[in-house]
C-alpha cells in the first residue's frame, strides 16, 4: 500500500524583482510517497532548490507562495530539523567552524528530543558511527576543518537525521564531491533511508545519479514540473522532450569521445 506523505497541489512560488514577480515554481502538483526515494532533477533555475526550501519551510520571507501543501503522512506541517532534515551542497558552509562536531550533531537531539548534554553527546557519537566516521568518540571533540569534504558531508547528514526526521532532503549534497566520494555518500543515504524508515528527496542536476539511486524521478524545467514517474520508465521511455534532451546531454562512459589520437600534430 502506498501512503501519501506530502501532497502538493498547484504550488507556485514567486519572488519580487524590480521588473515584477519572478516565478521560481509555477503551479506544481506532486505527491511524495512515504518511504520512497524521490529524485528532483533539473538545471540551474529550474526551481528544484526552491521546492526543497518550500518543503522545509525555509523560503525567504519575501517569497510569494500560492497553492496547497498538505502532509497527510505527518498530520501537521513538518518542523524543520525535527520532522524534516536537510543537507546542502557545501558542508563547509553548513557546519559552524567554531563548534565541535559533537555539539553540532547533538544539537538537533537536544532541541527536538529534549536530551541533556551527556545524552546528546552519546547520541552524537552513535550518529557519527552510523554515518561511518572513524573513531566517533574522538571525532565528536574535533572541529569541521579537521575533516575532508566527504567526511564533512557525512557529519552534516548525521546532524540532519539527529532528531529522527521522517523526511531527509539532500539538495545537491554530492555535487561538490569527487565521483568516488559521491558514490559513497549516495550509498550512505540509500542505507539510512532504507534502514531508518525515512523518505528521501534527492535534488540533483545529474540524471545518471538520479536513475541509479531513486525509485521515482520528477523533472523540473524553468519553474515547472515537466514529468514525474517511475525512475526506470523516465529514463527508458521519457515522455517529455526536455527529459530526452537531458538524457542526450548526460555525459558518462557511453558518450562519444570528441577527440581521437589522429588529431595530435
Partner 1 sequence: MSGDLLMVEGLSKRFAGRGRSVRALDDVSFSIRKGETLGIVGPSGSGKSTLARVLLRLIEPDAGRILIDGEDWRSLSPKALRHRRGDIQMVFQDPLSAFNPRTTIGKAIMDPLRIHAVGKRHSRMAALAELLQRVGLSADMASRRIHEVSGGQRQRVALARALASRPRLVVLDEALSALDVSLRGQMLELLVRLQRDEGISFLFIGHDPAVVRMISHRVAVMDQGRIVETGDADAVFSDPRSDTGKALIAAIPTWR
Report how many residues bind partner 1 under the rule CB under 8 A.
Answer: 40
Task: Pull the grid cell for residue 34.
Answer: 512515504
β pairing state of 64-70 and 4-17: antiparallel
Residue 249 in the binding site for partner 1 (CB under 8 A): yes
Selected from 35, 92, 149, 229, the binder of partner 1 by CB under 8 A is 149
**Which residue lies nearer to partner 1 by CB, 60 or 252?**
252
Contact with partner 1 (CB under 8 A) among 4, 29, 43, 191: 43
Strand ranges, E, within the chain: 4-17, 20-33, 37-41, 64-70, 84-87, 167-171, 199-204, 216-221, 224-230
DSSP per-residue codes, 152-220: HHHHHHHHHTTT--SEEEEESTTTTS-HHHHHHHHHHHHHHHHHTT-EEEEEES-HHHHHHH-SEEEEE
Between residue 129 and residue 148, which ones bind partner 1 under the rule CB under 8 A?
148
Quick one: how far is CA 84 from the chain centroid? 11
The verdict on 235 binding partner 1 (CB under 8 A) reads yes
Rule CB under 8 A: say whether 44 interacts with partner 1.
Answer: yes
Residue 60 in contact with partner 1, rule: CB under 8 A: no
Q: State yes or no: residue 247 binds partner 1 (CB under 8 A).
A: yes
Given 26, 79, 205, 239, the residue binding partner 1 (CB under 8 A): 205
Stretch that binds partner 1, among 6-14, 77-85, 157-165, 208-216 (CB under 8 A): 208-216
* 78 lines the binding site for partner 1 (CB under 8 A): no
The nearest distance, CB 175 to partner 1, in angstroms, is 9
Place of cell 566527504: 150
Cβ contact 1:60 at 8 Å: no
Q: Contact with partner 1 (CB under 8 A): which of 2, 76, 93, 179?
A: 179
When binding is defined by CB under 8 A, the residue of 73, 106, 150, 165 that contacts partner 1 is 150
Min separation Cβ 89 and partner 1, Å: 11
Least CB distance to partner 1 at residue 74 (A): 31
When asked if residue 255 is in the footprint of partner 1 (CB under 8 A), the reply is yes
Helix (H, G, I), strand (E, B) or coil at 135: coil
Taking the complex as a whole, the smallest distance from the CB of residue 248 to partner 1 amounts, in Å, to: 9
Contact 179, 129 (CB under 8 A): no
Q: Which is nearer to partner 1, 9 or 132 (CB)?
A: 132
**Interatomic CA distance for residues 184 and 103, integer angstroms:** 25
> How many CB atoms are closer than 10 A to CB 132?
13
Amino acid at each position: 500500500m502506498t501512503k501519501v506523505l506530502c501532497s502538493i497541489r498547484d504550488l507556485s512560488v514567486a519572488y519580487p524583482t524590480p521588473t515584477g514577480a519572478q516565478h521560481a515554481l509555477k503551479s506544481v502538483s506532486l505527491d511524495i510517497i512515504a518511504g520512497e526515494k524521490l529524485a528532483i532533477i533539473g538545471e540551474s533555475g529550474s526551481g528544484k532548490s526552491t521546492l526543497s526550501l518550500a518543503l522545509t519551510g525555509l523560503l525567504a520571507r519575501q517569497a510569494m507562495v500560492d497553492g496547497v501543501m498538505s502532509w497527510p503522512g505527518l498530520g501537521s506541517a513538518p518542523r524543520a530539523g525535527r520532522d524534516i532534515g536537510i543537507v546542502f551542497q557545501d558542508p563547509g558552509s553548513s557546519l559552524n567552524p567554531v563548534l565541535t562536531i559533537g555539539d553540532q550533531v547533538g544539537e538537533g537531539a537536544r532541541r527536538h528530543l529534549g536530551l541533556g548534554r551527556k545524552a546528546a553527546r552519546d547520541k552524537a557519537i552513535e550518529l557519527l558511527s552510523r554515518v561511518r566516521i572513524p573513531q566517533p568518540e574522538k571525532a565528536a571533540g574535533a572541529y569541521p576543518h579537521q575533516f575532508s569534504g566527504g567526511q564533512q558531508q557525512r557529519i552534516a547528514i548525521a546532524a540532519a537525521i539527529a532528531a529522527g526526521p521522517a523526511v531527509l532532503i539532500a539538495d545537491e549534497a554530492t555535487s561538490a564531491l569527487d565521483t568516488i566520494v559521491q558514490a559513497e555518500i549516495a550509498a550512505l543515504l540509500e542505507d539510512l533511508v532504507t534502514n531508518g524508515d525515512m523518505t528521501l528527496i534527492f535534488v540533483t542536476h545529474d540524471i545518471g545519479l538520479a536513475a541509479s539511486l531513486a525509485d521515482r524521478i520528477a523533472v523540473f524545467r524553468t519553474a515547472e514540473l515537466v514529468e514525474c514517474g517511475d525512475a526506470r520508465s523516465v529514463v527508458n521511455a521519457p515522455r517529455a522532450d526536455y527529459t530526452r534532451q537531458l538524457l542526450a546531454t548526460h555525459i558518462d562512459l557511453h558518450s562519444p569521445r570528441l577527440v581521437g589520437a589522429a588529431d595530435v600534430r
